[in-house]
Structure 1
């Protein structure tokens, strides 16, 4: 079952993100989860199994495009179609809000993720992502 996450799911979702190697020292996953749930234009979806959270995806609508973050599937649930179902649920969430396009970022060298997304019909966009941290 795929459903919207609640605050009570935070610990399990963040543990999954850690187990899947999605977290980085410069990003606070607790803050990311909490901000997604608090925002009117973002959410986290979770896939539950008999033994708890098996997958998750964070989605946001920036007013121009839809974005996907933290797609995670537990090791024991991989190659079962759960990742595809989570992406389909993310796309449905974005379509319901009128988003014309879905986008996501994949870290360099993550060939497995690139192959997964290519199989879903996502294509490289020919852009360079730039950024910096906004700290006081």
Structure 2
């Protein structure tokens, strides 16, 4: 199979339906998180860190990054199941790492589901290590 080039660009509002379909195909959505609201919220803060990967004009990957002045964060890293194992996730991660470094970000944090061994192995391969922390959350605005 010939490797196809992944073109990376910022999110455009017209991408919403394709991106939500991609997130569903990748199993990233959850009933308690409305993906439309997640997108709308992201567009109010550092929208330039919401990256879209295209192959031949088709959206095949996303990454939603952020920087709070202390740590960088990664959310919604997704690659279409039919385009996985082509290095696209790594290309997106390297792109957001460059952007975060330019902003002065010293460290990136991310959360993965504890039963997702394949994703853990991917991040291990990029040099991420498990921190000795407990993740806590509190929802301020319910999406339901």
Taking structure 2 as the reference length, the TM-score comes to 0.89
Partner of 1:65: 71
Whole-Å Cα distance in 2 between the matches of residues 44 and 12 of structure 1?
14
Whole-Å Cα distance in 2 between the matches of residues 67 and 42 of structure 1?
14
Partner of 1:96: 102
Considering only aligned residues, what root-mean-square deviation do their CA atoms show, in Å?
1.5
| SS of the residue 1:131 aligns to | coil
The answer (yes or no) to whether the contact 1:56–1:73 under 8 Å persists in 2 is: yes
Match of 1:118 among 124, 137, 140: 124
The answer (yes or no) to whether the contact 1:43–1:58 under 8 Å persists in 2 is: yes
Whole-Å Cα distance in 1 between the matches of residues 92 and 27 of structure 2?
18
The answer (yes or no) to whether the contact 1:42–1:60 under 8 Å persists in 2 is: no
Pairs aligned (count): 136
Segment drifting more, 52-61 vs 38-47: 38-47
Query: Quick check: 1:19 aligned with 2:25?
Result: yes
Q: CA deviation at 1:132?
A: 1.7
- Segments of 5+ residues of structure 2 without an aligned counterpart are 1-6
- Segments of 5+ residues of structure 1 without an aligned counterpart are none
Whole-Å Cα distance in 1 between the matches of residues 24 and 48 of structure 2?
21
Q: CA deviation at 1:40?
A: 3.6
